[in-house]
Amino acid sequence: MSLVNIKIEGVSYQVEEGLTILEAARACGYDIPSLCAFNHGECNQGSCRVCLVEVTGARGLVASCVYPVNEGMDIHISTPKATEARRRSVELLLSNHNQNCQQCDKNGKCELLHVATLTGAREGAFAGVHSETHLDLLAPGLVRDTSKCILCGRCIARCSNAHGMGILGFENRGFRTFVSPAENRSFADSPCIQCGQCVNVCPTGALMEHSEIDKVDAAVKAGKHVVIQAAPAVRAALGEEFGYPVGTPVTGKMIAAMRRLGFERVYDVNFGADLTIMEEGTELLHRLSDGGVLPMITSCSPGWVNYAEYNYGDLLDHLSSCKSPHQMQGAVIKSYWAKQMGYAPEDVFVVSVMPCVAKKFERQREQLKVNGLDDVDAVITTRELARMIKRAGIMFNRLPDEEWDQDIMGDYSGAGVIFGVTGGVMEAALRTVYFKLTGKEYGKIVFEEVRGHDAGIREASIDIDGTTVSVAIASGMKSAKILLDEIREGKSKYQFIEIMGCPGGCINGGGQPYVRNCFLPNEDDNILDTYKEKRAKALYSEDERQVIRQSHNNPQIIELYDKYLGEPNSHKAHELLHTTYAAREGFND
């Protein structure tokens, strides 16, 4: 790596060649306000003009996010000219922004508000006409409100980087430009998989999850028996909303907080994850022994299921018929638990806390209903749970660590915990499949070869007592597409594939806390490269702490089958825990 000599505010530094001024300045301890730039050029348009600095000898001010450093460069960040230009850029963005910050759920995590404060933007500096705005409230997962959009293009870049899809684009031009799916359609009428990756990178409140907090409030008010259940990945990230370092597991405090919010039961979706493994593992064994459709592909990720239904309608037989863990658990709560409690299923209201916005879509799927009832009645994201905790005045950081409600689904195995990270479902399934095939536990417990924390494809051949099982793991639709095209062409060599919609799996889901350098001053500068690994570690460490590491050894799972379901893939299990899929048109009318 070669170095170049530069000066910032008259002080000499040596920095890596090829860095932009913005990156070089950060490495030297200067944070230049910026908006459109995101993580090493994932989005770098130089369009927002918020990061302008003065460079001696350059013609005019330069956008530091796109301008590379070179030998002898003399950079000035805080000259009156640069300071004023940055303020003016922000004021121009604000002049076409609705500025209803008090009512905006992004408040506190809004980068536009942050740079407005940093640059000292003045009220009404450029009063005038606003461009026409568009509000999309039709999609269950996400909301698009162009009155808050600053046209930075980060969402467009993320959709195509993560998925190769490009659902969003710029429409029209000049003052009439806005960001939208083609034809200014709703996300609901486009092939959008509602994963929420665009929400995760939006600097303002233009793209948000479709909040269901009101639904939860209404159920409590109506006197329903409200049960809450939280997915594995939530505990690995919720702490970030309360100032904990990224990757701090906060399971105990999270349980305590949910209990203080007044829910009748606080359950872990890990139980549902263990149940999924029992069903899915059995399904895989049946497919292997009976000449069923292979490779079998996991079906836990609703973003991925959406993608399959839109783009690979011919391959839907490959998807496991298993519902996702929280749907399975919801079905069990409304049947088994409700019966034990003497409640009518209609009076039970199940809330899922998910790292995901596609789950909001999933819970409304017709194919998941049991006796006309939804398994799950509201899905809130990790961020929404944090909002509810703050709203209730619960001082999260001072809470004691508490345990899940134990009555019928309090136990969980380490296998359930790791569902939240790419490769986790695969590993959990292998632990159980190994046992079912050999009659003994896998000695090492851990299948290191399927672990990871990022997008891309991993593959492994697992030898189970002479039977070789070839598996592959992909997260993000760009990677998944490669495996799917292989299947379509008849070239796939795998028996079992795990696919997660979001790159890295649920730990990086579209409902997780926003990761931004400017709001995480105590994290390393490269936190956008490391947060997935840190959150994954939080889950792997919880797996290690568990006494029970395999789903089939969870005593309450065994009890549920003994007392209620019979055996995995039984008639009763199929009624409650399995589902179907149907091909869909992307641009429907």
Partner 1 sequence: MIKLSNSSVLKIEEICDRYKDEPTPLMMILSDIQNEYGYIPLEVQELVSRRTGISVAEIYGVVTFYSFFSLTPKGKYVIGCCLGTACYVKGAQQVIDKFSEILEIKPGETTKDGLFTLDALRCIGACGIAPAVSISGTVYPKMSVDQVPKIINEYRSREAQA
* Residue 86 contacts residue 79 (beta carbons within 8 Å): no
In angstroms, what is the minimal distance from the CB of 191 to partner 1?
A: 8
Q: Is 587 in the site for partner 1 (CB under 8 A)?
A: yes
Q: Near partner 1 by CB under 8 A, which window of 56-64, 173-181, 393-401, 493-501? A: 173-181
Nearer to partner 1, 183 or 544 (CB): 183
| Residue 193 in contact with partner 1, rule: CB under 8 A | no
Q: From the CB of 190, what's the least distance to partner 1, in Å? A: 8
Q: Are 236 and 418 in contact (CB under 8 A)?
A: no
**Binding pattern for the stretch 524-563 against partner 1, x by CB under 8 A and - elsewhere:** ----------------------------------------
Binding span for partner 1 by CB under 8 A among 177-185, 406-414, 508-516, 552-560: 177-185
- Evaluated on CA atoms 67, 71, 77, 83, the torsion sign reads negative
Under rule CB under 8 A, residue 160 binds partner 1 = yes
Q: Is 196 an interacting residue with respect to partner 1 (CB under 8 A)? A: no
Query: H/E/C letters for each residue in 363-429?
Result: CCCHHHCECCECCCCEEEEHHHHHHHHHHCCCCHHHCCCCCCCCCCCCCCCHHHHHHHCCCHHHHHH
Judged on CB neighbours under 10 Å (0-12, 13-18, 19+), 555 is exposed
Q: How far is the CB of 518 from partner 1 (least distance, A)?
A: 29
Residue with Cβ nearer partner 1 (175 or 587) = 587
Query: Min. distance of Cβ 159 from partner 1 in angstroms?
Result: 8
Distance CA 407, CA 405 (A): 6
Q: Which stretch binds partner 1 (CB under 8 A): 32-40, 42-50, 170-178, 224-232?
A: 170-178
CB nearer partner 1, residue 47 or residue 160: 160
Tokens of 147: 């009155």
Tell the smallest beta-carbon distance from residue 306 to partner 1 (Å).
16
Q: What residues form DSSP beta bridges with 457? A: 474
Q: How far apart are CA 309 and CA 303, in angstroms?
A: 10
Regarding 168 and contact with partner 1 (CB under 8 A), the answer is yes
By beta-carbon proximity to partner 1, the closer residue of 24 and 484 is 484
Selected from 167, 228, 233, 430, the binder of partner 1 by CB under 8 A is 167
Q: What is the DSSP string of 128-141?
A: -PPPP--EE--SSS
Residue whose CB is less far from partner 1, 448 or 589: 589
Using rule CB under 8 A, residue 239 touches partner 1 = no
- Per-position b or e across 82-117, b if 16+ CB within 10 A of its CB: bbebbbbbbbbbbbbbbbebeebbbeebbbbbbbbe
172 binds partner 1 (CB under 8 A): yes
What residues are paired with 14 via a beta bridge?
A: 5
In contact, 17 and 4? CB cutoff 8 Å: yes
Q: Nearer Cβ to partner 1, position 60 or 174? A: 174
The least CB distance from residue 165 to partner 1, in Å, is: 6
Our finding on whether 229 is near partner 1 (CB under 8 A) is no
Q: Toward partner 1, which CB reaches closer, 345 or 586?
A: 586
Q: Closest distance between partner 1 and the C-beta of residue 198, in Å?
A: 12
Among positions 61, 94, 110, 165, the unique one binding partner 1 when judged by CB under 8 A: 165
Kindly state whether residue 132 participates in binding partner 1, applying the rule CB under 8 A: no
Of all helices (H) and strands (E), which one includes residue 268?
Answer: strand 265-268
- At 26, is the secondary structure helix, strand, or coil? helix
- Binding flag, residue 133, partner 1 (CB under 8 A): no
171 versus 347: smaller Cβ distance to partner 1: 171
The amino acid sitting at 433 is V
* Interface stretch with partner 1, choices 167-175, 333-341, 393-401, 557-565 (CB under 8 A): 167-175
**Polymer length of the chain:** 589
Find the shortest distance in angstroms from Cβ 357 to partner 1: 19
183 binds partner 1 (CB under 8 A): yes
How many positions of this chain bind partner 1 (CB under 8 A)?
18
Task: Indicate the residue among 170 and 175 with the shorter CB distance to partner 1.
Answer: 170
Residue 123: CB atoms within 10 A of its CB come to: 9
Q: Which is nearer to partner 1, 190 or 512 (CB)?
A: 190
What string of H, E and C letters represents the secondary structure of 213-260? HHHHHHHHHCCCEEEEEECHHHHCCHHHHHCCCCCCCCHHHHHHHHHH
47 is an interface residue for partner 1 by CB under 8 A = no
Q: Which helix (H) or strand (E) element contains residue 359? A: helix 358-362
CA–CA separation, 335 and 344 (whole Å): 9
Q: Which stretch binds partner 1 (CB under 8 A): 109-117, 128-136, 179-187, 567-575?
A: 179-187
CA–CA dist 527, 514 (Å, integer): 12
Site membership for partner 1, residue 457 (CB under 8 A): no
* Among the listed residues 19, 28, 101, 182, the single contact to partner 1 using CB under 8 A: 182
Q: Give me the numbers of helices (H) and strands (E) for the chain, helices first please.
A: 20, 18
* Angstrom distance (rounded) from CA 358 to CA 509: 9
Query: Residues in the site for partner 1, rule: CB under 8 A?
Result: 156, 160, 165-173, 180-183, 586-587, 589
